[in-house]
Amino acid sequence: MTDLVRLERHGDVGVIVIDHPPVNALSIAVREGVIAAVGLLAADPGLVAGVLSCAGRTFVAGADIREFNAPRAGAASTNDVCRALDHCPKPVVAALFGTTLGGGLEVAMACHGRVITPGGVVGLPEVKLGLLPGAGGTQRLPRLAGAAAALEMITSGRHVPAAEALALGVVDEIGTDVLALAVERARAMARSGALPRARDRAVPDFDRAAFETAVQAVQRRARGAQAPVVAAEAVGWALDLAFDDALAREGAAFQSLRAGAQSRALRHLFMAERLAAKSPVAAEPWPVAQTGVVGGGTMGAGIAVALADAGFAVTLVEVSEPAVAAARGRIEAVYTRQVASGRLSGTEQQARLARIGYATELAALAGADLVIEAIIEDLAAKQDVFRALSAVTRRDAILASNTSYLDIDVLADAVDNPERVLGLHFFSPAHVMRLLEIVRPRRVSDAVLATALAVGRRLRKQPVIAGVCDGFIGNRMLAKWRQICDFALEDGALPHEVDAALEGFGMAMGPYAVADMAGLDIGWAMRKRRAPERDPASRYVPIADWLCEAGRFGQKTGLGWYRHEGGKREIDQAVTALVEQASAARGIVRRAVPAARIEARVLAAMVNEGAKILAEGVALRPSDIDVVLVHGYGYPAWRGGPMQAGDEAGLAGILATMREIHAECGVGWEPAALLERMVAEGRDFASLNV
């Protein structure tokens, strides 16, 4: 055994205790320890049965993610742990609590019985790390829970609550004192001679056609992600192959995914999310109970809902009674929808609504610990609000702005003690989107910053700290991303071709589809973003002119409408015809732009801007930029974010593309000094992630 695993005696039952904080991850030492403990249990004539349990806050939450980058050859695997349990001649019952995930659930399923606390959850979230369950999970779960449920659980990675796990047959019993229950159950099994193994069971009867349809749905939804597709295939092996053959295939598939770029990227993101949420300052957060929101539009209402959902008391201030009524209507509509879809109970709806009060005077915020301003993006109007808040709130009340672009240092000037002012940039819809940019102006105190991070965590958001600049991290990256796409249009690409290239890269939606949905007309966007520095002679088709046409066309018929009605092909044809017409009138032949060139340029432009953001200290580390883009802007998680994607593509190539772009586009497109330095030193951005 090892320091991390011990064998305790509860009469004639041996209790194996894993004690490896914080989440009892199955590191090599833990795996070796459990195998040794099972050996001792089997050999000890004084013990008739065993229990597998954990110290601390949870049963095993999975294999140790940090060991995946450089696995040690010859070390005991999680499969070896399962094999030891399979071969144990005495029954072993797993005592589950907290989050029994991944390898943790796989080991539990190799035990002969499982009991769980009422609040416990189980799951196989490996697909979220670009993996599949690699220790028999794709084989044992279908035998316990059936093919359809196993497919759903494994390909979604969803956490399954105790009651559902019981109904599915994943666990055998629910009880509060889970250790006592497991000991009792193990002893009873020993007495009756029961030694049931999941591997020996047949998969319960299932509907093959429905299963195939579900597999196809997984393939459709994957949008470039490999893991769910391979995981679905592996569940299929449980239906068609002998256990050991299927296990060998599962193992090979796991190793191949583990060594691939997608899992590398998703593991990077897992660590990045946790690093971004850590406070960079030593100060203790202040307590926050009473909150205020100024402005009850879409953002303000969403923020109020997010606060009420997290248990904060909220006072929402609007300018007039009709505006209050409108805000209340928005908030009630959110909760009504949640109740209608079964996500929220009527009682919980009432409790949350009761936490939100309304007022028409800022004086109602006199007792607030935190106020979030969410009025229109107008500096002067926001300054007025901050000036007024400074007069009515306590001197230690934290004053936050939800601005997406504006200079928060200027807002802080309007307040008597500016160290209490910062940005809390929510994304729409604010009660749904996980990203929260915490914008750190020059004078904000450490305690205020620490409090903002703590509030972010309590809201169950993904906080990321950003410095003050135009657009902070996310919108500044987005601006370059959009601009380089607009250049592709000028080069001859059509909007739907740019969208297709980026969707092929894995983006949730191409930029023009997003613009359609958001109701922008393309012509407007183009006029705003045309780069005056570009040499007019080199500018191919005056697509910009055409785009203005298309914009009017869009206004009349609604590009978004066409897309929604499934008439995408029609609109693409109509747009193509317009371009051809405009080109012909000018005697120019449209040149196609290859998707690979669009992808490469978008990536280079983003990595380059990221490098500038880092050099200016607007982001603390490259992985924070990745977290922002993935959680707020639909960047594919399996690419890990643009900085990780840049590392994966090779920074020398990125720099070369950037030099090309600079030569064509001029001012504003210079290769970042940091990027040049990284390439010269042969380093990657991952080396800056501390």
What are the phi and psi torsion angles at 18 (to 5°)? -90, 130
According to DSSP, residue 26 is labeled B
Is the CB of 99 or the CB of 475 nearer to ligand 3HC? Answer: 99
Q: Which residue has the tokens 């029994």?
A: 100
Give the span between the Cα atoms of 547 and 495, in whole angstroms. Answer: 9
What are the phi and psi torsion angles at 470 (to 5°)? -70, 105
Is the CB of 263 or the CB of 475 nearer to ligand 3HC? Answer: 263
Instruction: Evaluate whether 600 touches 592 at the Cβ level (below 8 Å).
Output: no
List the one residue out of 276, 367, 323, 308 whose CA is nearest residue 627. Answer: 276
List the one residue out of 275, 254, 269 whose CA is nearest residue 639. Answer: 269
- CB of 580 vs ligand 3HC, minimal distance in Å: 51
- CB of 59 vs ligand 3HC, minimal distance in Å: 10
Give the span between the Cα atoms of 618 and 642, in whole angstroms. Answer: 16
391 contacts: CB under 8 Å, gap ≥ 6: none
Give the span between the Cα atoms of 310 and 266, in whole angstroms. Answer: 28
Q: In the numeric block, which tokens belong to residue 345? A: 């109970």
Give how far Cα 476 sits from Cα of 60, 425, 606, 689, Å: 40, 13, 10, 20
Instruction: Evaluate whether 232 touches 127 at the Cβ level (below 8 Å).
Output: no
Say which of 126, 273, 318, 419 is annotated catalytic: 126
Is the CB of 134 or the CB of 418 nearer to ligand 3HC? Answer: 134
List the one residue out of 224, 129, 157 whose CA is nearest residue 507. Answer: 224
Q: In the numeric block, which tokens belong to residue 444? A: 């904000």
**CA 268 to chain centroid:** 12
- CB of 171 vs ligand 3HC, minimal distance in Å: 18
- CB of 60 vs ligand 3HC, minimal distance in Å: 8
Is the CB of 17 or the CB of 131 nearer to ligand 3HC? Answer: 131
503 has catalytic annotation: no
**Helix/strand/coil for 420:** helix
Q: CA torsion angle for 140, 144, 145, 148 (degrees, to 10)? A: 50
Q: To which H or E segment does residue 159 belong?
A: none
Give the span between the Cα atoms of 354 and 511, in whole angstroms. Answer: 39
Q: What is the 3-state secondary structure (H, E, C) of 53-105?
A: EECCCCCCCCECHHHCCCCCCCCCCHHHHHHHHHHCCCCEEEEECCEEECHHH
- Sheet with strand 92-96: strands edge to edge: 5-10, 13-18, 49-54, 92-96, 113-116, 173-174
Q: Is the dihedral of CA 619, 621, 622, 623 positive or negative?
A: negative
Is the CB of 101 or the CB of 525 nearer to ligand 3HC? Answer: 101
- CB of 275 vs ligand 3HC, minimal distance in Å: 7
Q: Is the dihedral of CA 299, 304, 305, 306 positive or negative?
A: positive
**CA 537 to chain centroid:** 44
570 has catalytic annotation: no
Give how far Cα 591 sits from Cα of 424, 500, 504, 513, 566, Å: 44, 17, 20, 22, 27
487 contacts: CB under 8 Å, gap ≥ 6: 531, 534, 601, 664, 665
Say which of 8, 32, 67, 106 is annotated catalytic: 106
According to DSSP, residue 670 is labeled P
Residue-by-residue DSSP string for 586-623: TT-------HHHHHHHHHHHHHHHHHHHHHTTSBSSHH
Q: In the numeric block, which tokens belong to residue 350? A: 């009432």
Which residues make up the interface to ligand 3HC (CB under 6 A)?
22-23, 25, 61-66, 78, 99, 101-103, 106, 125-126, 129, 131, 133-135, 137, 274
List the one residue out of 77, 83, 1 whose CA is nearest residue 37. Answer: 1
Q: Which residue has the tokens 């050099």?
A: 615
Specify the amino acid at residue 442. Answer: R
Pairing verdict, β 421-426 and 435-440: antiparallel
Active site residues: 106, 126
